[in-house]
A and B are shown apart, each in its own frame.
Chain A
Amino acid sequence: MSTTLLPEQRAGDAHKQTKSSQSKRYGFFPGCVAKESCKELFNSAMLLADRLGIELVELTAASCCGASVVNDTNRDVARVLNARTYAQAEALGLDDVITICSTCTGHMRAANKELLESDVHMTQANAILGKFGARYNGTVTVRHLLWLLIDDIGLDRLREMVVRPLNGLKVAPFYGCHIIRPESVNGWESSRRPHSLEDIIAAIGGEPIDYAGKTRCCGFHIQLEKEGVATSMVGQNMRMAKDRGAQAVLTPCPLCHLALDGYQADSAARWGRTDLPTFHLPQLVAFALGVPPEKLGLNKHLIDPRTVMVAQELIA
């Protein structure tokens, strides 16, 4: 029987091989907020990658993903901006692109889905990219670091790597809408009953707290639209977490982080004081894996997480 493959098939297989044999190098899209007001997230992600023995190669010329807002004015621009980013990743041989933001994940995946599912969209994007000599061939996959931790590292291996277990710290997961919804775009786990963050919390020695707020919205995108609304959304969610006994929150999204960390002080008037410190996903995992806490930017949070860490005998 002939085993001759078509050129693109062969290329496809070879590409798969390189992916598995050198699975330690990833394209890295940090997103705007991790480079601006949440630099501690960027730094923690790099330190965590180091611990995990993987290399995150930053796509330094990438633009904003569109942040769910550019769609409001134009139906094409986010798709083409992200096609430009994917073309850069391909040019570097990095078709596995990792994000550290729920909003980036959802919007980059949505753009990619449209590009891969429609010739019209792909042709339109490449016509514009062609003006500056770029081209997207449709080989990129976008994933969040959360999914990488579970799929590529694995919970068992993560558990083995823990040197500083969380001593049963009660941690409330907060997913951020765009990493789970819409399911047609993300679909990596159930959007109504996700449990990846809970699994990570348990793997690093914490106790995950279940509460209805975990899949709800932080209000970040409307923080400036009308006073008090986003604040109240934060208060409502944090109230639920606190009432279930949470001592801290863990989120894979810097926008959620800005909202949860920033607005709890103001939501107290309507929802009572909650004061739950919020960890970035890579921050808490890196801590458990032995990265020195002073390198994780814990002092950058408005609600200082070190208080509860001291109480839990995690730091002195």
Chain B
Amino acid sequence: MAQITLDVFRFDEAVDVVPHRSQVTVDVPETTTVLDALETAKAEVDGSISFRRSCRSAICGSCSMNINGTTGLACKTPCNTVMDKDGVIQVDPMPNFQPMKDLVVHMDPFWDKYTRLKPYLQPADRDEDHATERRVSPEDMKKLVDVANCVMCATCYALCPVVSVDPAFAGPAAIAYAYRFIEDVRDSKRDERIAQISEDYLWLCAHCYACSYCPKHVDPNDRIVDVKRAAIADRVMMNERGPRHALTVNRTIRQTGMLDETELILGTIGRFNVRGLLKVAPLGLRMAAKGKLPPIFLKPIPKVDEVRTIFDALEVPVA
């Protein structure tokens, strides 16, 4: 047994203006989960502590919260992996959400982004008489099973740094779930779905891998890349900055072997997009003043033709 002190974020939107904290000490085996420690605290010490939970076994997705500053499922986190030397564990509501009461948050933005996906199969025919099966090969199904493990706990959404500054971004889980339908051979709305998730800022993912902490190994970060490849392959919304950026990177590496920083800006924003270029100009001028501008003409690396051979052998799109 160990003495564990839960340092809990307390807030009730109905009465409180500012949050406060309370410390609750419980005697539990140190291998117990943070959720069970909270349950014990609620049962034995302070019945007013609020948190969501149901399954207690990482299946329902209810109990995601911040534990010592990083987000995860309380029922999947043993106390002895997170407590400090005095046995203290800080628990807070998930960031990127509005707190409702203690560890319970308003989940609406997360569900809204999910609902926008039309998260159900839209086959080409309505199959009113249910006469034939819609068959999927094992290989095609394999692509979808990882994503189907998503329990919608919103851990990834809470950890996403882009969501934290721009709530218009769909967020990792919604893009992963879009992938689930985009890659489903039974669905008929592939390109509409790609277009819609592109409009919800697919390309605004910052490649930070924070969502690789998904407790169910959905790895939205990898699914986001898959959706981008689908967008490029189907040539959906190619005039957006995201695809232009990616293709310009390809083009400059193929030409010079290097990532050409100057060309990247021109290619992404558009050589003739004067307004767009003027917006990035102040930073460019500040850099120029410090002698920090990248070279205008980049000298290709030695044996750059080898790089071109690689690009051509793999048929990498460059524009």
Contact = CB atoms under 8 A, between A and B. Distances in A.
Interface of B: 69-70, 161-162, 164-166, 201, 203-210, 212-213, 219, 221, 225, 228-229, 232, 241-242, 245-247, 249-250, 253, 257-261, 264-265, 268-269, 279-280, 283, 286-287, 290-295, 298, 301-307, 309-311, 313-317
A185 B207 CA distance: 14
A134 B221 CA distance: 32
Contact of B225 (A33, A36, A71, A302): A71
Contact of A63 (B246, B258, B280, B295): B258
Interface size, A (range) = 35 or more
Interface in A285-311: 299-302
B232 A266 contact: no
16 contacts: A36-B258, A37-B292, A63-B301, A63-B307, A67-B249, A71-B225, A74-B316, A81-B310, A177-B209, A178-B209, A182-B219, A216-B161, A222-B206, A224-B264, A236-B161, A299-B290
Looking at A37, A76, A222, A302, the one whose CB has the most chain B CB atoms below 10 A away is A222
B313 A73 contact: no
Interface stretch (A139-147, A227-235, A275-283): A227-235
Contacts of A227: 279
Given A77-B314, A132-B306, A181 B228 contact: no
Contacts of B253: 63-64, 66, 70, 81
A229 B166 contact: yes
Contact of B241 (A32, A70, A224): A224
A109 interface: no
B209 A128 contact: no
Given A132-B309, A236-B164, 12 more contacts: A36-B261, A67-B249, A70-B249, A77-B250, A128-B314, A181-B209, A181-B212, A217-B210, A221-B206, A227-B279, A229-B162, A236-B165
Contacts of A269: none
A17 B313 CA distance: 38
A216 B283 contact: no
A35 B257 CA distance: 13
Given A128-B310, A128-B314, A224-B245, A233 B161 contact: yes
A225 interface: yes
Given A37-B287, A181-B210, A229-B162, A212 B69 contact: yes
